[in-house]
């Protein structure tokens, strides 16, 4: 398959890059120090249509396709990974669940404000004892007349502090394990829904990560998204697309790392010339570019496959695994080229190095992705 990008992609890339240069980069240090994304910046991203990139126009989206959303996440991540994670968690996970499984009324009510950036979403799936093993979740939703009453706890929830909408998975038929999980949307401020802790993380420090408790949270039955007991099915299909987004974020961070390495190598004076004059540095830069080319090709190809309606069950896992690991190696090489100055807090490559490490963990750890890939291989090879 030739990776031929649609005509709207180059203008989109330039527009997102211009936004990142003018609006985002100047605020990075301030947001990292505060441990939060500037709300006015979120509003701007919404006004530009970037939250709505993967959604239809009738639901407030920009109809840019998965490839367009990939470019949005990549270019924002080049400037600031935490901001890219906010967009990915809200649109790529929470809002996408409503787009996939919600009724038209629910899409109008919940998806439209999220696609327009007027309401941030949080994707509430992970628990302390149920990360990769989703059916092991303990959070439960008990039917009570026209209501559901939800009790439980969720961990490592991106956008927990900022979210207006909590897209929440809970068991409605515990005896069925994975086949007894349902999906609900809960407004911030609903009695019993409480943010009990914000995590102090190694990286993506401006992206808030919360522990959430549900204490007899009572919601109307119309907050059920899709049919009862189909939540896990919808989650698995949605995560295929969101894994392309994780690859896009890694790709953007790796591109920024290569740019920083190139600039440093050709400015750093060494042995009567520059570091970039040394063949070892030139070969390192060349290897980094090889990695970028491969990662970009895989990411864009998988996004285009998704837009074409193809089954990407295996390809999404391959994409997420390969690109996050290739990017991590590239970022490490960039930091190594910077030497001691790259290890000092406050340098751009130091932040990128810390921010990237989680990419191999969330949206399904890479070890789980290899399980997915092998499962598809068994069907192919017998």
Supply the residues annotated as catalytic: 363
The 10s digit of each residue's pLDDT in 173-221 is: 999 989 999 999 999 999 999 999 999 999 999 999 999 999 999 999 9
Using DSSP's 3-state secondary structure scheme, residue 174 falls into helix
pLDDT-derived band at 1, boundaries 50, 70, 90 = low
**21/94 Cα distance (integer angstroms):** 27
pLDDT of 367 over the 90 cut: yes
Q: Assess contact for 155 and 128: CB atoms under 8 A.
A: yes
Judge whether residue 352 has pLDDT over 90.
yes
Say if residue 16's pLDDT is above 90: yes
Q: Per the structure block, which two tokens stand in for 244?
A: 């392309």
Please provide residue 341's backbone torsions phi and psi, each rounded to the nearest 5 degrees: -65, -25
Q: Which residues are paired to 213 by β-bridges?
A: 153, 194
238 pLDDT band, cuts 50/70/90, is confident
Question: What is the per-residue pLDDT for 104?
Answer: 98
Q: Is the pTM of this model over 0.75?
A: yes
**Residue 2 predicted with pLDDT over 60:** no
pLDDT tens digit string along 248-303? 999 999 999 999 999 999 999 999 999 999 999 999 999 999 999 999 999 999 99
Q: Which domains does the chain have, with CATH numbers?
A: 9-119 (1.10.540.10), 122-229 (2.40.110.10), 232-381 (1.20.140.10)
Using the 8-state DSSP alphabet, how is residue 110 labeled? I
pLDDT tens, 306-324? 999 999 999 999 999 999 9
Q: Is 207 strand, coil or helix?
A: coil
Query: Of 25-34, 63-72, 235-244, 355-364, which gets the smallest average pLDDT?
Result: 235-244
Asked if 150 contacts 99 with a C-beta cutoff of 8 angstroms, the reply is no
């Amino acid at each position: 398959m030739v990776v031929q990008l649609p005509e709207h992609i180059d203008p989109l890339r330039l527009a997102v890059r211009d936004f990142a240069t003018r609006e985002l980069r100047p605020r990075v240090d301030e947001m990292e120090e505060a441990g939060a994304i500037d709300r006015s910046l979120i509003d701007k991203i919404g006004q530009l249509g970037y939250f709505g990139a993967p959604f239809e126009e009738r639901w407030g989206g920009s109809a840019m396709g998965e490839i367009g959303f990939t470019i949005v996440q990549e270019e924002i991540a080049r400037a600031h990974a935490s901001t890219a994670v906010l967009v990915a968690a809200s649109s790529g996970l929470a809002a996408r669940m409503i787009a996939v499984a919600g009724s038209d009324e629910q899409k109008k009510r919940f998806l439209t404000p999220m696609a327009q950036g007027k309401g941030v979403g949080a994707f509430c799936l992970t628990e302390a004892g149920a990360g990769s093993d989703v059916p092991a979740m303990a959070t439960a939703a008990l039917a009570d007349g026209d209501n559901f009453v939800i009790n439980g706890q969720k961990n490592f929830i991106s956008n927990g502090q900022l979210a207006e909408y909590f897209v929440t998975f809970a068991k409605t038929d515990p005896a069925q394990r994975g086949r007894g999980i349902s999906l609900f949307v809960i407004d911030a401020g609903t009695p019993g829904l409480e943010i009990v802790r914000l995590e102090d993380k190694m990286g993506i420090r401006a992206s808030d990560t919360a522990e959430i408790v549900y204490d007899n949270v009572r919601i109307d039955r119309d907050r059920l998204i899709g049919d009862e007991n189909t939540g896990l099915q919808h989650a698995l299909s949605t995560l295929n697309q969101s894994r392309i987004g994780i690859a896009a974020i890694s790709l953007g961070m790796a591109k920024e790392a290569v740019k920083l390495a190139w600039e440093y190598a050709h400015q750093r004076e060494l042995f009567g010339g520059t570091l970039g004059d040394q063949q070892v540095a030139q070969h390192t830069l060349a290897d980094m570019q090889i990695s970028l080319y491969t990662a970009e090709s895989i990411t864009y190809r998988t996004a285009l496959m998704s837009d074409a309606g193809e089954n990407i069950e295996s390809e999404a896992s391959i994409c997420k695994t390969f690109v996050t690991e290739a990017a991590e190696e590239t970022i490490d090489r960039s930091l190594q080229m910077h030497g001691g100055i790259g290890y000092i807090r406050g340098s751009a490559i130091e932040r990128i190095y810390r921010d990237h490490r989680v990419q191999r963990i969330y949206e399904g750890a890479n070890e789980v992705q290899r399980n997915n890939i092998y499962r598809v291989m068994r069907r192919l090879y017998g």
